[in-house]
Amino acid sequence: MSSHGKTWWGQRFIAALEEQMDAGRLQRGRSYGGPSRILGFEIGADGKVSATVRGNVNPYFGVTKEPRYQVELQLAPIPAKARKALIAQLGSRADLVSRLLMNEMPDDIDAAFAASGFTLLPHSAQDFARTDCSCPDYANPCKHIAGVYYRLADQLDQDPLLLFELRGLGRARLRAELAKTPLGQALAPLMSEDDEAPPEPVESLYPPLLPHAQPQAARPQGTAASVEAGAAAVDARAFWHAPAPLPEDKAHSGEAASVPAMLVKKGGDFPPFWDRSQSFIAVMEELYRRVKSKHKQRL
């Protein structure tokens, strides 16, 4: 089973759990955070986490059939009156706006929240507003609740903006509110994949494909005579030579791209397919650095 809390915010989330809850029960709940135990997991629009956890058969206590327990968790939401001040604080800094629009978690997000009088990550018992489980264990958190917390930490590693949803501020609303700020209006179009300009056609340096070499479905409708005339009009030798020389390569300036690794960073540090403890972005940056160093004579 992969380790929990790969990112700094995932680790901080687990640290907050360990400070406010019984460490022994949390440790027992680690084994309940995997897919073999958590059969259902859902986060509602209001930030409430609902899960179905598979329990154990225990004939000693009269449990002869595998039980299924219902768990509900919810963090204290940010009050509606405070959201306006929070958005204004976040929207006043270009680094925060740009990273949040790229689904990244800024390193100093806590400082921005502290200026508005609230915290994003849980810091006290009051931040854990609701924790319920249908199991007979009187303790809270029980091992089933702890297992759901660890699953939640795994989800946070892959999707940092989930923290905002848990605090009652959905990502769609967060992006919309940030886009309304002066900096957001300038940066949002640059971060949107839908605003890309359509490609412009250019004159090809190569002759068209011979008609008889085209796939049957791609051939234009017409008579056999027109096909033969088109084939005769193309010189077989000219097909492999461009009518004009290719442009010379421009000298590589060595300057970094204005927005390096945009597509890689949009996936976040730990995208769903990445099951390692090291940041995916850090690995890709090192890979690109090595490729550039190895082929620096060609670039």
What is the tens place of the pLDDT at every residue in 240-297? 665 566 566 555 545 554 445 667 776 777 777 777 777 788 888 888 888 877 777 6
What is the domain partition of the chain in residue ranges? 1-78+120-160, 79-117+165-192, 262-294
Q: Is pLDDT of 216 > 80? A: no
With pLDDT > 70 as the criterion, what percentage of the chain qualifies? 71
**Measured distance CA(44)–CA(16) in Å, rounded:** 22
Contacts of 58 by beta carbon, 8 Å cutoff, 6+ apart:
none
Q: Is pLDDT of 50 > 90? A: yes
Residue written as tokens 């955070």? Answer: 33
DSSP H or E segment with residue 11: helix 8-20
pLDDT tens digits, 149-166: 888 888 888 888 888 888
Six token digits for residue 148: 């759901």
pLDDT score at 205: 57
47, 75 contact by CB (below 8 A): yes
Per-residue b or e along 14-42, where b marks 16 or more CB atoms closer than 10 Å to that residue's CB? bebbeebbbeebbeebbebbeeebbeebe
Choose among 82, 78, 55, 81: nearest CA to 66: 55
Residue written as tokens 């796939």? Answer: 215
Residue written as tokens 């225990």? Answer: 58
**Measured distance CA(125)–CA(76) in Å, rounded:** 10
Q: What phi and psi, each to the nearest 5 degrees, are found at residue 103?
A: 60, 30
| 121 band by pLDDT with thresholds 50, 70 and 90 | confident
> What number is the average pLDDT over the span 43-70?
86
Helix (H, G, I), strand (E, B) or coil at 296: coil
| 219 band by pLDDT with thresholds 50, 70 and 90 | very low
Task: Quickly list H helices, 181-269.
Answer: 182-191, 224-233, 262-266
